[in-house]
């Protein structure tokens, strides 16, 4: 298995399309950083407009590395599924398209092994992509904008809320958030891999993955009680942004944030569990279907 | 001489199409076994079933005297194959492609081994070049190197001369003959060209619409003196069993009809023997030579009722 995984990673590393995702992330992060360096105060004024009378905070201090990373993640983690799909959706369909699938299957490796290795490789790619995001959006932002206490803007029902996390209480939250995002994006990788089994070129599964993510995201954002109760809890898109939960710090009875706390641990645990369940079902379905599939490409 | 491939009553149904229909044949150790049939006859589907790419709808495949369905990995470790086009990773070099597939075959690789393999197919000087820059002939040779890198005992080549120029075809022919004569490999090669099989194979089978038409030694099958004798009796199954007990067994064709590929001169003797065995004959017919017969298959697709004159 390890030998196969090494081969798979070698193949991914040699494909130019692999680096498109890394380049895209770097470009978006750089544009954000440049824009905030040039005119971050306007953005901050806009954000603090509604709460300026009730919240005391130096606006210059608010734009720091931690805050920048949060803003970037808020935007990027919605688009990254497409980048993950670029590689994962190519797993089987790409081999079928190149004609190498029949050669792979005629080797003394089982189809189960092949699917598991493809999934593992897609997961590693996802981890590397998030690691790159962490480097560019967090570490580079810390270097460019410095480090300070972190402001979080949160919509809670009809109200807007601002939370303040002290700078010595932030890094672990980012580590946890990136770990959560890895699990969330691995669902996308598993979905792409599953769709990849049915196609003989990678365009179809990439488009199908993106369409599913878009449709499910729209459904996840529809506020209708019947959907809230019967549909949303089962959609993986309802949990893709669950990483934000690590930044929703708990407060005491006087409204003062409690250092090292998270408002709703059970919700985070439940989200993670549902995402892991999606991964398990999608990978198992991929194995079962692929084992029975006639390779005619 | 042991049996390398034994296929029994193999069939494959794709929705409403029967691609392979009750096919049985054997390939012996050291054979260059020609698998002949027009396009769409079921050759590629059969080969894909031999390599476990396609699951049979019925029947059994034994390779190295082991069931493919239960000993897949063990069997495939000793099989090398080029299936239709030799498609490889175009964005990788010849060396990287060879290295990847060698490792997948479970071979402990060294640079020396890989370069030796590339040298054998005349690609050593292009080992670092990307496959996308290769001609069809070069890709085909690299495909052969990939098929041979783990030193398999059985080599399966599906239409290996497709898309090659005359020199490429001659090179491929020499390579296959070398594999058999000098390296003692067993080779199963499919083709739609009788002339190609005639030059390299010692045994062959012809299939048409998924069914076996004829199987035997190439020299015997192509001998103009040989004809296909079709016998009709009151009970063909019983007659077949009786023939199996006689010297005529080696001429008997393993298909549903009662047919023997044999010298026409020997037909009176065959009839005498059948009468002596109390087989009630209804008719005995002689068909075209194999070459004419195969020509009729390839020129009149769909309109042929094989061997039924």
The answer, for B63 touching chain A at a CB cutoff of 8 Å, is no
Whether residues A296 and B54 touch (CB distance < 8 A) is answered with: yes
Backbone angles phi, psi at B227, to 5 degrees: -130, 160
Burial class (CB in 10 A: 0-12, 13-18, 19+), B210: buried
Q: Say whether pLDDT at A59 is over 70.
A: no
Residues of A in contact with B74 (CB under 8 A): 108
- Closest among B31, B26, B19, B36 to B177, alpha carbons compared: B31
| Closest CA in chain B for residue A16 | B91
pLDDT at A57 over 80: no
DSSP A43-57: HHHHHHGGGTTT---
Q: Is the Cβ of B58 closer than 8 Å to some Cβ of chain A? A: no
CA B215, B217, B218, B219 dihedral sign is: negative
pLDDT attached to residue B198? 80
The pLDDT, as a whole number, for residue B302 is 45
Q: Which residues contact A40 (CB under 8 A, 6 or more apart)?
A: A63
CB B200 within 8 A of CB B190: no
Closest CA to B160 of B20, B62, B19, B44: B44
Predicted pLDDT of residue B295: 65
Question: From the candidates B72, B78, B81, B89, which should be mutated to test the interface with A, based on the most A CB atoms within 10 A?
Answer: B89
Ordered per-residue pLDDT tens for chain B, 309 residues: 688 999 999 999 988 888 898 889 999 988 899 998 888 888 889 999 999 999 999 999 999 999 998 999 889 988 998 887 778 899 999 999 999 988 888 778 888 888 988 888 888 888 888 999 988 888 888 888 888 888 899 999 988 887 777 887 888 888 888 888 888 889 999 888 777 788 888 888 888 888 888 888 887 777 767 777 888 998 888 888 889 889 888 888 766 678 887 887 888 898 999 899 888 889 888 775 566 666 655 554 444 444 432
Instruction: Give the SS3 label for residue B236.
Output: helix
Nearest to A3 among B87, B91, B103 (CB): B103
CB contact under 8 A, B91 and A14: yes
How close, in Å, is residue B111 to chain A by CA atoms? 16
Residue B23 CA to residue B7 CA, distance in Å, equals 7
| Chain B residue whose CA is closest to A4 | B104
The span from the CA of A288 to the CA of B16, in Å, is: 24
Chain A residue with Cα closest to B156: A106
Judged by a CB distance cut-off of 8 A, whether residue B76 touches chain A is: yes
B74 touches chain A (CB under 8 A): yes
Q: Does A16 sit within 8 Å of B91, measured CB to CB?
A: yes
The CA–CA distances, whole Å, from B299 to B192, B197, B241, B290, B293 equal 12, 18, 35, 14, 10
Which residues of A fall within a CB distance of 8 Å from B92? 11, 14
Residues of B in contact with A114 (CB under 8 A): none
Kindly tell me the number of DSSP H helices and DSSP E strands found in chain B: 11, 13
């Amino acid at each position: 298995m390890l030998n196969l995984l090494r081969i798979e990673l070698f193949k991914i590393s040699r494909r130019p399309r692999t680096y498109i995702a890394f380049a895209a992330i770097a470009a978006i992060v750089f544009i954000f950083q440049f824009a905030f360096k040039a005119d971050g105060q306007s953005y901050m004024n806009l954000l603090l407009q509604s709460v300026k009378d009730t919240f005391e905070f130096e606006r210059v201090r608010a734009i720091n590395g931690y805050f920048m990373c949060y803003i970037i993640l808020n935007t990027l983690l919605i688009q990254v599924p497409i980048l993950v799909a670029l590689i994962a959706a190519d797993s089987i369909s790409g081999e079928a398209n190149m004609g190498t699938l029949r050669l792979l299957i005629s080797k003394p490796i089982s189809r189960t092994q092949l699917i598991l290795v493809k999934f593992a490789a897609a997961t590693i790619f996802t981890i590397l992509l998030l690691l790159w995001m962490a480097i560019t959006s967090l570490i580079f932002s810390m270097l460019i904008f410095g480090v300070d206490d972190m402001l979080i803007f949160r919509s809670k029902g009809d109200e807007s809320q601002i939370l303040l996390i002290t700078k010595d209480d932030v890094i672990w939250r980012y580590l946890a958030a990136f770990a959560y995002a890895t699990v969330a994006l691995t669902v996308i990788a598993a979905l792409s891999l599953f769709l990849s089994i049915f196609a003989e070129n990678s365009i179809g599964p990439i488009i199908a993955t993106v369409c599913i993510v878009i449709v499910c995201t729209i459904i996840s954002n529809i506020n209708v009680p019947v959907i809230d109760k019967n549909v949303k809890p089962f959609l993986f898109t309802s949990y893709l942004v669950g990483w934000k939960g690590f930044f929703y710090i708990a407060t005491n009875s006087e409204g003062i944030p409690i250092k090292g706390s998270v408002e709703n641990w059970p919700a985070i645990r439940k989200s993670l569990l549902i995402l892991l369940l999606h991964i398990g079902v999608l990978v198992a379905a991929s194995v079962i279907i692929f084992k029975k599939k006639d390779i005619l490409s | 001489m042991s049996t390398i491939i034994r296929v029994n009553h193999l069939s494959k149904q794709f929705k409403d199409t029967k691609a392979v229909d009750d096919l049985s044949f054997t390939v012996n150790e050291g054979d260059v076994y020609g698998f002949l049939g027009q396009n769409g006859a079921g050759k590629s589907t059969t080969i894909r079933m031999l390599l476990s790419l396609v699951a049979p709808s019925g029947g059994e495949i034994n390779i190295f005297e082991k069931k493919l369905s239960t000993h897949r990995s063990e069997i495939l470790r000793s099989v090398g194959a080029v299936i239709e086009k030799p498609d490889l990773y175009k964005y990788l070099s010849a060396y990287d492609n060879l290295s990847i597939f060698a490792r997948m075959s479970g071979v402990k690789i060294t640079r020396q081994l890989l370069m030796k393999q590339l040298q054998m197919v005349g690609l050593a000087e292009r080992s670092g070049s990307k496959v996308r820059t290769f001609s069809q002939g070069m890709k085909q040779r690299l495909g052969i190197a990939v098929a041979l890198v783990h030193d398999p005992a059985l080599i399966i080549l599906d239409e290996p001369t497709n898309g090659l120029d005359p020199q490429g075809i001659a090179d491929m022919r020499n390579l296959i003959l070398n594999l058999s004569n000098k390296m003692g490999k067993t080779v199963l090669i499919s083709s739609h060209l009788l002339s190609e099989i005639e030059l390299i194979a010692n045994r062959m089978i012809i299939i048409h619409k998924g069914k076996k038409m004829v199987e035997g030694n190439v020299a015997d099958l192509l001998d103009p003196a040989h004809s296909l004798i079709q016998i009709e009796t009151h009970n063909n199954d019983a007659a077949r069993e009786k023939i199996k007990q006689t010297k005529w067994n080696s001429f008997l064709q393993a298909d549903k009809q009662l047919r023997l590929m044999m010298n026409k001169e020997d037909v009176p003797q065959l009839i005498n023997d059948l009468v002596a065995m109390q087989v009630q004959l209804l008719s005995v017919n002689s068909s075209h030579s194999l070459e004419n017969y195969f020509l009729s298959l390839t020129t009149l697709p769909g309109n042929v009722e094989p061997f039924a004159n």
